[in-house]
Amino acid sequence: MHQVRTVFAALILCTLHVLALAQPDQPVQILELGPPATAPADTSGNVQFIGTATVLIRYQGFTILTDPNFLHKGDHVHLGYGLHAERLTNPALELAQLPPLDLVILSHIHEDHFDRVVQASLPRDVPIVSTQDAVAKLQALGFRKAISLATWEALELRRGQARLSVSAMPGQHGPGLANALLPSVMGSMLDFAALPGQPRYRMYISGDTLIHDAIRLIPHRYPDIDLALLHLGGTRILKMLKVTMDGKDGVQMLRIIAPARAIPIHFDDYDVFKSPLSDFEHEVHAAGLDGKIVYLKRGERYQFAPAAGPAPPE
Ligand SMILES: [Zn+2]
């Protein structure tokens, strides 16, 4: 029985693989941006950790924000079905302190990723990419430039010679049948094309996903990932249902995706996060992968291309 199941799983994976490889990654939409509000100060790129899954990414004049959550310690979020979570930390920046944004990447529409303050205050003309059901909700909230991407579809941002492609990666929030009760989730792959003096850079953002078969397709289609941002936390709902990666899963993800560097995010901001960062650190150490990981405190930046290494906090 076990063998039959293994063969069956291998067949499904093969079929998925062929299907996935058969689809060319064509941008479904092109977004032409005007000149940046402020010229980039230097040619390196950086990732600034704001808190939970909220990260500011700056490179080649593009400014990207992920999963905006600007609630404070003691605030509560609703996760549907009467489930609540309490925030345990403060964000490193306030919403009002954000620089002008070229794009928001939203992995899914849970309130700990797009909170009520953001829903009320984020400018309605900021482009947002997300899943189809998240985009329907965003449009109902008045966000005029919400763009949905199906898995493997891409949006290309253009500004002068600079090109950034954002592609939707497979994600699955819940285990098995429970997944149907949770919002659809997308990971994302950011591909910054090379510019003179500014090398190409490939960044994977996991989104709130568990490890599932389709994740294994990602490195076939997107090898040589420079940086991965991993949503950890081992989030538990109803006390037993794991809906985000814990420390062990994070290391499994590292082995599958094989990025040059990885930054853990989304690990200690809510009381439903049950796997502390120390779980991941322990697993990383046991796997001999310490050299790959950059640990950022909230507010800190990781600077990449051409200079690499964490920059001091602001
Ligand atoms: Zn989350």
Q: What is the pLDDT of residues 6-50, one digit of tens each?
A: 555 555 454 444 444 444 456 678 999 988 766 666 678 999 999
Compute, in angstroms, the gap from residue 60 CA to the centroid of ligand 1.
28
Mean pLDDT, rounded, for 208-235: 95
Mean pLDDT computed over every residue of the chain:
88
**Distance (Å, whole) CA 100 – CA 36:** 8
Q: Rank 34-38, 80-84, 257-261 by mean pLDDT and report only the highest.
A: 257-261
Q: Where are the domains of the chain?
A: 28-311
Mean pLDDT, rounded, for 109-122: 94
CA dist list (Å): 166 to 1, 11, 41, 70, 182: 41, 30, 23, 23, 24
- What's the pLDDT score for residue 39? 66
Mean pLDDT, rounded, for 74-78: 90
Which of 53-62, 76-85, 114-123, 155-164 is predicted least confidently?
76-85
Compute, in angstroms, the gap from residue 112 CA to the centroid of ligand 1.
6
- What's the pLDDT score for residue 305? 74
Compute, in angstroms, the gap from residue 292 CA to the centroid of ligand 1.
23
Q: Calculate ∠ Cα 58-142-77, nearest 5°.
A: 75
Compute, in angstroms, the gap from residue 50 CA to the centroid of ligand 1.
14
Radius of gyration, alpha carbons of the chain: 19
- What's the pLDDT score for residue 180? 72
Contact of 105 with 67, CB cutoff 8 Å? yes
Contact of 256 with 271, CB cutoff 8 Å? no
pLDDT of residue 103 exceeding 90, the answer is yes
Compute, in angstroms, the gap from residue 88 CA to the centroid of ligand 1.
14
258: left (phi over 0), alpha (psi -120 to 50) or beta: left
Contact of 20 with 152, CB cutoff 8 Å? yes
Which of 116-120, 195-199, 221-225, 309-313 is predicted least confidently?
309-313
Compute, in angstroms, the gap from residue 308 CA to the centroid of ligand 1.
28
Q: Which residue has the tokens 């949905």?
A: 148
Q: Is the dihedral of CA 20, 26, 27, 29 positive or negative?
A: negative
pLDDT of residue 68 exceeding 70, the answer is yes
CA dist list (Å): 17 to 27, 135, 154, 169, 190: 20, 27, 18, 14, 21
Compute, in angstroms, the gap from residue 107 CA to the centroid of ligand 1.
9
Compute, in angstroms, the gap from residue 41 CA to the centroid of ligand 1.
32
Closest by CA position to 180, among listed 248, 269, 241 = 241
- What's the pLDDT score for residue 83? 79
- Fold of the 28-311 domain: Metallo-beta-lactamase; Chain A (3.60.15)
Q: State CA 52 to chain mean position distance.
A: 11
Q: Is the dihedral of CA 99, 100, 101, 102 positive or negative?
A: negative
Decide: pTM greater than 0.85.
Answer: yes
- Length of the chain in residues, anyone? 314
For residue 242, what are the β-bridge partners?
236
